Amino acid sequence: MTNDPGLQPQRTALAWQRTGLAVAVTYTILVLAIIRHLAAPLAMVVLLIGTAFLGVVARRFPTGRDRTVEALQVWPMLAATTTFVVSAAVIGSTLAAWSAFGR
């Protein structure tokens, strides 16, 4: 095996791109489900939360050959991730309860 210093950062960047794509597709499906089952205004709120999350992630993701993460960058990313996970859980639970108990 060769020792290529650029290989690990490239694999990490590709993994983050796949993760970002999965999050974007999941959020799109969630917005479409909300439009179909609930209401368009709630879908707009969910879409804005998802867009804000992706904006923070894109802004905070280190680029270039020297990918160093400073300690100060961790807290905004943690806050954005927590907001995303909590909002997705609340909205998913609401959709599940809505479909289980009917309108």
pLDDT tens sequence across 64-88: 555 555 555 667 767 777 877 787 7
Mind listing the pLDDT tens digit for each residue in 14-73?
777 787 788 778 777 877 777 777 666 777 777 777 777 777 766 666 565 555 555 556
**For range 90-103, the mean pLDDT:** 74
The Cα-based distances of 57 to 3, 27, 33, 42, 50 in angstroms read 30, 15, 24, 23, 11
Give the start-to-end residue ranges of the domains of the chain: 21-61+73-101
Query: What pLDDT is stored for residue 32 in this prediction?
Result: 79
The pTM for the full model equals 0.47
> Is residue 64 left, alpha or beta, with left meaning phi > 0 and alpha meaning psi from -120 to 50?
left
Separation CA 38–CA 91 (nearest Å): 11
- Of 6-10, 35-39, 86-90, 96-100, which has the strongest mean pLDDT? 86-90
Query: What pLDDT is stored for residue 36 in this prediction?
Result: 77
CA gyration radius for the chain?
17
